[in-house]
Structure 1
């Protein structure tokens, strides 16, 4: 009996040592796999997090380059001042309008073009290349193209087209600045959403579509009840990525409207530029930058959670 108890005790001790050795090996294996990623992680921290910490430090100081002697710590006063600033609030509203408008119209047009390209026809490669081209053009070149060639009140192509139906010329960038910026942004971002949706269309199982046809479902019912649910992941990803990029729009506003008339078309990135490089108010510009970054992180985190939930539900 005593021998049996000793044997059981030794067996338990051996199992514990084995588990410890095994966990040690797993940790070593984990560090061996993560090791090559550490330089990239350190580099990312240095170029992103350290500047952000410095920006937070600037945002808590009353620092205007025109008054270098007034560089003093003022706590959260800059944050209080920017939320009291009516121009900051209107710029935030413009950012929301431009972002949501661009993402919505670009996604709708992207779905339409993807449906048209998801079939065989003569010249398909040429048409696809032409539709993708706007996304490959630099934002500065695209904004210049729309400002001069498309929306110019004297010789712009848009005014020439509307004059054919008797509509008088319109000074788009002055009378409708937000609409002008949306035109350029939707033109640039529609190819991106089209490619995402087209990838989703070409990856959906063909047997499901055939089953819908056998059941007598028409094109409309097949699209809304079969195809569109299959595209949910791709649409959500396009909306997320488009929102993150479009909310930081600067080139189109700077080159097409310069934030005007006045500040009617200024969004948050452009207004931060004005405060920092035209108003020389480093403290308030830094505070605005911190607010924009935090808001973007919150929105992106919520959107990613929704996307991951849809992936888990699908799986």
Structure 2
């Protein structure tokens, strides 16, 4: 979508356009000439303001809903505003500290991803999305500890320091020596490999009868492999939180649009494909309305940013989705800061 250059607008047209867009993003309602004439920054009569608004509408930057005499920005107008006029509002110190605290809490990385999605939803008032990293860490050690007579805790330590905990069902006849033997076997076969690589190698070795494990240890290892393989298959590619935020008072007036958006969000693989474009772009991306085919019917906007590990490699994408009247000036830097904070969790 190509918007006209900002230099094509006069100073007063630029100022009125900015006030209309900011007023619409703040209230969700069209902005009329009467409201603008009462603004001290506009030193024009209502008639002159209406002429400017008509010119901006003719340029495709504003539209007049048939139910109101006011104007609201078109998708083209929003794109011009976001690209050339928006003044971002950096997160406050309190907001930055809250983000870092919530994402810095110890625990499995899956919990941090869930927390990030919920956090983005809370901060933006829209729906938060996080694409799960596709990069698997290489393992350094695997240890098994009995929790009780029926369960075993598996601790997987990555070469990058990443730690994951998994709970396995324990065979009734497993003994302490079985756990130790199984732990040693798992560490020896998984060191330097991803979980998927290690599982594949161990499955082949056990199936061929080449493993030196006793029956109890072999049963325990096979249960672990089955659990980890199933977990990798079922692990969601996308975590979405805060869909209820999309059902605000203004959205209820356009329930078909919201229903279309919620249907789109149910198709997580399609949304993940959209976010992959932000990953490939290697930088923040803002998709407004019909600029992306997936959300063209719901008329929604997506703000997405890749997040990186400590070595600067992109490992995933996060963002928010909501109506086109998102508070871009606030949400864009918030998404950027959250991406940088989450990246610190990856070695």
Bin for the TM-score computed over the shorter chain:
under 0.3
The structure with more helix, counted as a fraction of residues: 1
Structure showing greater Rg: 1
Structure with the bigger RCO (C-alpha within 8 Å, sep 6+) is: 1
TM-score (ref. length: structure 1):
0.22
TM-score (ref. length: structure 2):
0.21
The structure with more strand, counted as a fraction of residues: 2
